């Protein structure tokens, strides 16, 4: 389905081609195509180029959001309107996305997902403005994006397990994520992750074997990402449903609205951010009776990691927070059994409350968990990390602190801000600051915050009042 425009493409590092999209891209209007072309005030072309290049280098492992663009500086993508539909024109695209002159079908499908989601957010959500305001309106936006991506599947019993964890983990930890995924696959569970490498790839890879042994077809390996992170975490090759949410907050809400349970593997600050997001929601009084299985797990070598996380959560949010999660070490089958048991409770609760299986409408997510947080030196200093706040509100600002560190580590705007103004400053209650500093130091010592090329980690943050 390609018109190759480069001679001797098999010997070149890049390929230029005009491809026919596959995978369910609706026809586009002339206005939508125009917004995707060239440099314009909309900024859509730069966004399209960045996300498309991440997809075309699927499987690459890099912590540097600028590395891929520097590696392929001449890459370009254009969406062309034609009488019989659209074509996608790629110029100087990574040759690894092609085999024998044909774009790999899975990459073609992910490329279509990029175009689909960028167009939908820009032309539908942003222009329509939505019929609902506040928290309900933002939840409706999340639902609309997922529905447009055709991954909300009715008439299927709850079986979607979200897996969180680091993209830069040890080999033992990665192998363990595969073993857990295998056990989930044997039990008919589908997998949803952040779509990148490491703990986001392993569970999907393991599940493919479990699904194959059970002769299970039409399996879902869903990857949910956002523009600020995709360049540093290109989609892994197993993802067969990709969704690009417009910001990290909608990405996190998509995980908890779609997922029927969550497993957390070892990771770094991004994983800590995800944990605090979910626990902050579960600690909200309106969600006290909502079942949501949450399991922390890893190989025996990673037991200390979860002990550190557990101590930090208890110190900051109180010992009662531990009732919302289980810690299971070095036992993949036990993890899968516990998750299946927890999802059975979710199913019964959804039946009792008449809530949908495919989207958790009943879960109350406060507005301060939904509003996009732009990490700047000013907003990071303004975080209110104090014990006298309600626990779910404290969790929200702790989540933002970790989100800022993620931005300073791997997101282009955050990296540029740190280069220009120095590290972010995080302040708050002395005991919490000491615990936060200790946890972050442990992440550094365990090499959970790596830099490209193996360079020594230089913190993008400074914890005050320690």
Residue 453, pLDDT score: 52
43-52, 229-238, 263-272, 445-454, range with the lowest pLDDT:
445-454
Closest CA to 274 of 378, 361, 162, 173: 162
HEC letters along 101-117 = CEECHHHHHHHHHHHHH
Q: What is the pLDDT of residues 281-306, one digit of tens each?
A: 999 999 999 999 999 999 999 999 99
Q: Helices 303-317 & 391-410, crossing angle to 10 degrees? A: 130
What is the predicted pLDDT for the residue at 126? 66
Q: Which domains does the chain have, with CATH numbers?
A: 2-129 (3.30.1850.10), 141-367 (3.40.50.450), 368-463 (no CATH)
Burial of 349 (0-12, 13-18, 19+ CB in 10 A): middle
State the pLDDT at residue 133. Answer: 75
**Mean pLDDT computed over 381-386:** 96
Say if strands 221-225 and 241-244 run parallel, antiparallel, or are unpaired: parallel
Write out pLDDT tens, residues 413-450. 898 999 999 999 999 999 999 999 999 999 988 888 76
Between 14 and 339, the higher pLDDT residue = 339
Which pLDDT belongs to residue 2? 55
Distances (CA, A) of 325 to 61, 76, 311, 319, 337: 30, 45, 13, 12, 15
What lies within 8 Å, CB to CB, of 136 at 6+ separation is none
Residue 337 has phi, psi (to 5 degrees) of -65, -45
pTM: 0.91
Average pLDDT, the chain: 89
Per-residue pLDDT, 58: 83
pLDDT digits (tens, 9 = 90+) for 95-146: 999 999 899 999 999 999 999 999 899 887 766 655 567 899 999 999 999 9
- Write the pLDDT tens digit of every residue in 182-194: 999 999 999 999 9
Rg over alpha carbons for the chain, rounded to the nearest Å, is: 22
Q: Is 53 helix (H, G, I), strand (E, B) or coil?
A: helix
Task: Report the C-alpha gap between 122 and 126 in whole angstroms.
Answer: 5
pLDDT digits (tens, 9 = 90+) for 397-419: 999 999 999 999 888 889 899 99
């Amino acid at each position: 389905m390609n018109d190759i425009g480069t001679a001797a493409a098999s010997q070149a590092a890049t390929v230029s081609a005009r491809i026919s999209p596959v995978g369910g891209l609706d026809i586009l209007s002339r206005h939508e195509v125009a917004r995707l072309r060239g440099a314009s005030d909309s900024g859509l072309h730069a966004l399209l180029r960045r996300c498309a290049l991440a997809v075309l280098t699927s499987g690459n492992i890099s912590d540097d959001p600028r590395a891929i663009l520097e590696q392929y500086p001449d890459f370009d993508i254009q969406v062309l309107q034609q009488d019989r539909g659209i074509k996608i024109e790629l110029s100087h695209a990574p040759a690894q996305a092609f085999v024998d002159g044909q774009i790999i079908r899975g990459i073609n499908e992910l490329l279509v997902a990029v175009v689909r989601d960028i167009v939908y957010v820009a032309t539908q959500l942003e222009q329509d403005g939505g019929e609902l305001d506040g928290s309900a309106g933002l939840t409706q936006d999340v639902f609309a994006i997922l529905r447009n991506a055709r991954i909300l599947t009715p008439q299927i019993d709850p079986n979607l397990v979200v897996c969180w964890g680091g993209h830069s983990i040890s080999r033992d930890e990665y192998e363990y994520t595969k073993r857990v995924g295998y056990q989930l696959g044997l039990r008919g569970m589908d997998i949803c992750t952040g779509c990148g490498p490491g703990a986001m790839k392993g569970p999907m890879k393991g599940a493919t074997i479990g699904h194959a042994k059970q002769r299970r077809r039409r399996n879902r390996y869903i990857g949910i990402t956002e523009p600020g992170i995709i360049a540093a975490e290109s989609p892994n090759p197993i993802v067969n449903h990709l969704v690009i949410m417009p910001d990290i907050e909608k990405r996190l809400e998509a995980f908890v609205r779609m997922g029927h349970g969550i497993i957390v593997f070892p990771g770094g600050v991004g994983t800590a951010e995800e944990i605090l997001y979910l626990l902050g929601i579960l600690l909200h009084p309106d969600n006290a009776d909502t079942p949501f299985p949450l399991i922390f797990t890893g190989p025996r070598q990673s037991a200390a990691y979860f002990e550190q996380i557990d101590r930090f959560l208890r110190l900051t949010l109180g010992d009662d927070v531990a009732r919302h999660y289980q810690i299971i070490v070095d036992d993949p089958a036990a993890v899968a059994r516990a998750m299946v048991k927890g999802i059975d409770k979710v199913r019964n609760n959804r039946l009792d409350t008449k809530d949908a299986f495919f989207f958790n409408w009943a879960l109350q997510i406060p507005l301060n968990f939904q509003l996009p947080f732009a990490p700047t030196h000013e907003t990071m200093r303004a975080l209110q990390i104090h014990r006298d706040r309600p626990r779910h509100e404290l969790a929200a600002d702790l989540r933002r602190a970790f989100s800022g560190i993620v931005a300073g580590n791997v997101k282009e705007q955050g990296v540029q801000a740190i280069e220009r103004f120095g590290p972010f400053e995080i302040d708050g209650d002395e005991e919490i600051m000491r615990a936060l500093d200790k946890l972050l130091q442990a992440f550094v010592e365990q090499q959970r915050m790596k830099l490209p090329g193996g360079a020594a980690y230089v913190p993008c943050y400074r914890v005050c009042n320690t």
